[in-house]
């Protein structure tokens, strides 16, 4: 994944423009710089950072190690779901966790329920940093007894990525403003897909059920949990996302490709599908897996208004041997200046509030996506989103629901049969 070399001029600009950002940056970077003097000796310290997907950290590691010659950083990357399961296993066996472990939003509730396995960020400068994040983001990584296990990296503001060339073949508008007008709601998104399919442009309208389901779920005021209670069978949030996804599948819009598989990556590159619900971090996937399609993609508003899907945290498992050095590195990685670099390089949208009004973010246009004003698009989405509580079983419940949608798509069950099994599977998880 490419990284933009912002250079010294841009770094100075970031610090100069945002007064509030300056304060937060100074707190975070001062802590990081302190490692040179605080380390009793220049003894080499090897830090392992375990992540998933694309965090955009490789260039930052190089920058950090250049400033801290005694620090060696090794990144361990695993598929998203496998990463969360591996971390749970490492914590259970008290062996194998990295010095810094990333946790995705959908699983964070599983780990805040066992805060004793992590160092409390409130003992490592958390109180001074808290105001940098939205209250809901800070709360997501807080345990019921007030401990904070994670510092936010990014949030997943929502949009819709689409292929302009395939829309043109189907006789649909290609301008992002006109495309946004096609689908104020998900029902109108499906209706647009029916028109697309009728034109037979040589591609399907959407990839498969998982991404659409998760995007709609991320817009619901109540999702899997209402407070501490799982409400899949009683609240409308999950069922709404399920029903709309089934409707799209029944309309023949799906390419029937499972997300995060090699076939999905290939379909993205070859134009097998024309739309992909697009949390900000999805831009990194598209740019990585479909490098030769630059300029063919654009980004419109997501149907149904703003929402959030995803975003992650950096945690410090107590198995780590170098908590001081690990905490300094983690604070530096999530500092506003580094979050801005990651967004401009790979698309992960900052979780630092002050950046939303900073020109380095709000004025940024992404050339890969036809110069779409991605800073403005995702800032708008995040500002209008309704935070959703993620409980200990959120990740597993979503897997059960997506498995049900997949059974329908593969013709193994009717929608009613699959939903009945989903409720049974969810009950077994609790």
318 or 157, higher pLDDT: 318
DSSP conformational letter for 235: S
Dist CA 429 CA 225 (whole Å) = 14
> What percent of the chain is predicted at pLDDT more than 70?
90
Parallel, antiparallel, or unpaired for β 312-315 and 150-152?
antiparallel
Dist CA 68 CA 329 (whole Å) = 10
The token pair that represents 65 in the structure block: 């190690």
Dist CA 207 CA 269 (whole Å) = 12
- The answer to whether the beta carbons of residues 204 and 272 sit under 8 Å apart is yes
Which strands, in side-by-side order, build the sheet including 150-152? Answer: 71-78, 45-52, 100-104, 312-315, 150-152
In this model, does residue 14 exceed pLDDT 50? no
Dist CA 287 CA 369 (whole Å) = 9
* Averaged pLDDT for residues 101-123: 94
Backbone angles phi, psi at 258, to 5 degrees: -70, 135
Beta bridge partners of 157: 308
* Averaged pLDDT for residues 164-191: 98
Confidence of residue 80 (pLDDT cuts 50, 70, 90): confident
Confidence of residue 32 (pLDDT cuts 50, 70, 90): very low
Residue 272: other Cβ atoms inside 10 A: 18
Dist CA 29 CA 39 (whole Å) = 16
**Residue 70 vs residues 39, 65, 322, 323, 338: alpha-carbon distances, Å:** 9, 8, 13, 15, 21
Dist CA 196 CA 254 (whole Å) = 12
* Averaged pLDDT for residues 311-326: 96
35 or 111, higher pLDDT: 111
The token pair that represents 172 in the structure block: 């649909």
DSSP conformational letter for 39: S
The structural architecture, per CATH, of the domain 156-308+376-429 is: 3-Layer(aba) Sandwich (3.40)
381-392 pLDDT, tens digit each:
887 777 788 888
Dist CA 35 CA 337 (whole Å) = 18
Confidence of residue 41 (pLDDT cuts 50, 70, 90): low
* Averaged pLDDT for residues 163-177: 98
Confidence of residue 53 (pLDDT cuts 50, 70, 90): confident
- The answer to whether the beta carbons of residues 284 and 1 sit under 8 Å apart is yes
127-153 b/e with 16+ CB inside 10 Å = b? eebeebbbeebbebbbbeeebbbbbbb
Dihedral sign for Cα atoms in the order 264, 269, 274, 279: positive
Alpha helices in 251-371 (DSSP H): 262-270, 282-289, 323-333, 336-346, 359-362
DSSP conformational letter for 301: P
CATH number of 45-155+311-363: 3.40.190.10
The token pair that represents 241 in the structure block: 């996302």
Confidence of residue 40 (pLDDT cuts 50, 70, 90): low
DSSP string across 339-351: HHHHHHHH-PEE-
Provide CB contacts within 8 A for 76, sequence distance 6+. 48, 49, 50, 51, 98
153-159-161 Cα angle (round to 5): 110
- The answer to whether the beta carbons of residues 54 and 343 sit under 8 Å apart is no
In this model, does residue 168 exceed pLDDT 70? yes
Shared fold status for 45-155+311-363 and 156-308+376-429? yes
Confidence of residue 54 (pLDDT cuts 50, 70, 90): confident
pLDDT of residue 39: 47
Domain map of the chain by residue range? 45-155+311-363, 156-308+376-429
pLDDT, the chain, mean: 89
Q: Residue 5: is it exposed, middle or buried by C-beta count within 10 angstroms (0-12/13-18/19+)? A: exposed
Please tell me the pTM assigned to this model. Answer: 0.80
Confidence of residue 347 (pLDDT cuts 50, 70, 90): confident
């Amino acid at each position: 994944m490419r990284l933009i070399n912002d250079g010294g001029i841009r770094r100075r600009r970031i610090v100069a423009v945002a007064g509030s950002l300056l304060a937060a940056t100074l707190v975070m970077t001062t802590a990081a710089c302190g490692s040179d003097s605080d380390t009793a000796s220049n003894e080499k310290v090897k830090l392992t950072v375990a992540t998933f997907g694309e965090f955009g950290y490789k260039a930052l590691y190089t920058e950090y190690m250049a400033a801290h010659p005694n620090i060696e950083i090794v990144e361990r990357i695993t598929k998203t779901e496998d990463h969360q399961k591996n971390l749970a296993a490492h914590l259970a066996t008290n062996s194998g966790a990295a010095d810094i472990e990333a946790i995705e939003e959908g699983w964070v509730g599983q780990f805040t329920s066992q805060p004793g396995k992590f160092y409390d960020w409130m003992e490592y400068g958390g109180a001074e940093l808290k105001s940098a994040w939205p209250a809901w983001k800070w709360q997501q990584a807080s345990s019921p007894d007030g401990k904070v296990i994670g510092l936010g990296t990014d949030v997943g503001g929502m949009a819709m990525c689409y292929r302009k060339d395939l829309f043109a073949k189907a006789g649909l508008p290609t301008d992002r403003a006109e495309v946004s007008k096609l689908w104020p709601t998900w029902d109108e998104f499906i209706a647009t897909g029916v028109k697309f399919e009728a034109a037979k442009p040589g591609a399907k309208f959407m990839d498969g059920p998982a991404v659409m389901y998760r995007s709609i779920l991320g817009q619901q005021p109540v999702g899997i949990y209402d407070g501490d209670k799982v409400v899949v069978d009683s609240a409308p949030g999950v069922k709404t996302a399920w029903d709309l996804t089934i409707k799209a599948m029944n309309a023949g819009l799906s390419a029937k490709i499972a997300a995060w598989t090699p076939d999905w990556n290939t379909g993205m590159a070859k134009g097998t599908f024309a739309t992909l619900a697009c949390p900000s971090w999805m831009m990194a996937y598209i740019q990585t897996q479909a490098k030769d399609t630059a300029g063919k993609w654009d980004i419109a508003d997501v149907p149904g208004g703003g929402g959030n899907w995803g975003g992650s945290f950096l945690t410090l498992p107590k198995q780590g041997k170098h908590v001081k050095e690990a905490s300094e590195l983690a604070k530096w990685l999530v500092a506003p200046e580094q979050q801005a670099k990651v967004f401009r390089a790979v698309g992960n949208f900052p979780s630092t509030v002050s950046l939303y009004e900073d020109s380095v973010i709000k004025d940024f246009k992404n050339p890969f996506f036809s110069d779409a004003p991605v800073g403005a698009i995702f800032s708008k989405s995040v500002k209008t989103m309704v935070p959703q509580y993620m409980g200990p079983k959120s990740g597993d419940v979503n897997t059960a629901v997506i498995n049900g949608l997949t059974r329908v798509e593969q013709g193994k069950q009717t929608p009613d049969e699959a939903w009945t099994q989903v409720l049974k599977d969810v009950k077994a998880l609790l």
